[in-house]
Structure 1
């Protein structure tokens, strides 16, 4: 996955990534749930406030979550404290999106709007 553009990627439950490289991968808005990462690398991977790791397991895998949401996740069998450094950024992006949607709705032009609050509609 090195260098991949994986914006909005979603894992299915019980996905296992073993010895995978996510180095320099764009993962804004990616959602990993019930996913296991074994001996994976995330050097230079880019997350956003909308990236989430929920009930994930990391084994011999180091990752800097930055602003990503982390909930009920473990690393080498030890619980990682829940965190979401990007919560405020996510709320701002959602508020901006709601404003753009309301303006588009007012002029009857919602067809061209991106569904992702983090994406620019231009």
Structure 2
């Protein structure tokens, strides 16, 4: 009887490593995805801004809304694609909307930009 009680106490006190390590790995993966998602957006916006005649006037479509409406797809594992736009002044002071596409390859931090030259 004493051995059964002791075994029960040991079982209750021992950590369930399989559940906590899986949860921890999932948390790390989710944190990495958030970090990569944010870095992709910032890098893309910086690359687009460098192409503009009046970068201080740049107003991008909402990066997070783009994901909700399907203009931003993918993940770090599969690669991102953002089909977005920026409103900014051209060299004549007129506000112009410019479309751009930023992409990454699967598992890569290298961002490729097409469009956005004004």
Q: Normalising to structure 2: TM-score of the pair?
A: 0.27
**Larger gyration radius, structure 1 or structure 2:** 2
Please identify which structure carries the higher strand content: 2
Please identify which structure carries the higher helix content: 2
Q: Normalising to structure 1: TM-score of the pair?
A: 0.26
Give the structure, 1 or 2, with the largest relative contact order (CA under 8 Å, sep 6 or more): 2
